[in-house]
């Protein structure tokens, strides 16, 4: 796949890994409505590419994303152009649904601060790896706003309700080490190791048996809204699909031959 051209986003794909880089570093990758539309479109294109088995989302420069562009939002509210402000919110809603509904793993690589909508874009991803210099902040209350881009959904599921309210009400940016303690990120690595550690993890995810991995992603998220009998029934249905896949045949053959499996996704 050739790199696609966008004004505020960089995209690439190689060896099963697609990468989407928020590319407005002079604004700490703050997102206005136009940039949000580009992120949505780029995410759609990468996730629909059959050669892409895992998506990495990261930021250019010093930040992952400072969230919604305060200048853009301030001007919209000052002129009572609420539809312009809501276009940014609705694009974010579309984006997080794309990530969660995709059968493919999505990994956020936090190279710096992730605040507001940027924080919740990271939380919408399946996994998060962070630089020691990164941080996550629900900063909405600093400017009298409510969490959007899925924050009120993801945060309590990751950190619990009391911690979620604490983080929202404090509006503080939480350092990477504390994010790890709270379960907001999976790994924290030195800043100079982030790119390599992200590439290593993404490469491993790209080698997963895609049918089994996609079914597991859906089952894990749906389990939070199901009782145990429904979860068990879903597991049985998913396992039967895996039993009938060529990936399972390959997995058993590789195990018997004491070699690494080569999954092809069917």
**Where do the domains of the chain lie?**
9-206, 210-257
Work out the mean pLDDT of the chain and round it to a whole number: 93
Q: What is the pLDDT of residue 191?
A: 98
Q: Phi first, then psi: what are they for 216, rounded to 5°?
A: -65, -40
| Number of CB atoms found within 10 A of residue 100's CB | 17
| Number of CB atoms found within 10 A of residue 255's CB | 10
Q: What is the pLDDT of residue 163?
A: 98
Distances (CA, A) of 114 to 39, 131, 155: 16, 11, 14
Q: Give the residue, 247 or 181, on which the prediction is more confident.
A: 181
Checking if the pLDDT of 150 tops 70, the result is yes
pTM over 0.75: yes
pLDDT, tens digit, for every residue of 230-251? Answer: 777 887 888 888 788 888 888 8
Q: What is the pLDDT of residue 266?
A: 66
pLDDT, tens digit, for every residue of 39-51? Answer: 999 999 999 999 9
Residue 212 parent element (H or E): helix 210-223
**Confidence grade of residue 190 (pLDDT, cut at 50, 70, 90):** very high
Checking if the pLDDT of 2 tops 70, the result is no
Task: Please check whether the domain covering 210-257 is classified as CATH 1.10.12.
Answer: yes
Nearest to 209 by CA among 77, 53, 75: 53
The answer to whether 99 and 124 have CB atoms below 8 angstroms apart is: yes
Q: Phi first, then psi: what are they for 252, rounded to 5°?
A: -70, -40
Which structure tokens are listed for 128?
Answer: 């998060």
Q: What is the pLDDT of residue 234?
A: 82
Q: What is the CATH number of domain 9-206?
A: 3.90.226.10
Which structure tokens are listed for 150?
Answer: 């899925």
């Amino acid at each position: 796949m050739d790199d696609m051209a966008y004004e505020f986003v960089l995209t690439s794909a190689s060896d099963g890994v697609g990468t989407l880089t928020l590319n407005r570093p002079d604004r700490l990758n703050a997102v206005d409505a136009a940039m949000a539309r580009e992120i949505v479109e780029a995410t759609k294109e990468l996730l629909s590419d059959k050669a892409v088995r895992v998506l990495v989302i990261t930021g250019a420069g010093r930040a992952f994303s400072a969230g919604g562009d305060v200048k853009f939002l301030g001007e919209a509210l000052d002129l009572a152009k609420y539809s312009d402000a809501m276009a940014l919110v609705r694009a974010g809603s579309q984006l997080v649904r794309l990530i969660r509904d995709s059968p493919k793993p999505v990994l956020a690589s936090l190279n710096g601060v992730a605040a507001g909508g940027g924080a919740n874009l990271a939380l919408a991803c399946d996994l998060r790896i962070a630089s020691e210099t990164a941080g996550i902040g629900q900063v909405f209350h600093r400017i009298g706003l409510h969490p959007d881009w899925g924050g009120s959904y993801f945060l309590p599921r990751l950190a619990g309700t009391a911690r979620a309210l604490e983080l929202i009400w404090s509006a503080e940016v939480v350092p990477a080490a504390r994010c790890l303690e709270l379960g907001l990120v999976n790994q924290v690595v030195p800043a100079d190791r982030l790119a390599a550690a992200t590439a290593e993890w993404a490469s491993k995810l790209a080698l997963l048996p895609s049918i089994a991995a996609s079914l597991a992603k859906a089952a894990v998220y749906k389990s939070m809204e199901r009782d145990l009998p429904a979860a068990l029934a879903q597991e049985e249905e998913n396992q039967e699909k895996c039993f009938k896949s060529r990936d399972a045949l390959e997995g058993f053959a590789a195990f018997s031959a004491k070699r690494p499996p080569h999954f092809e996704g069917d």
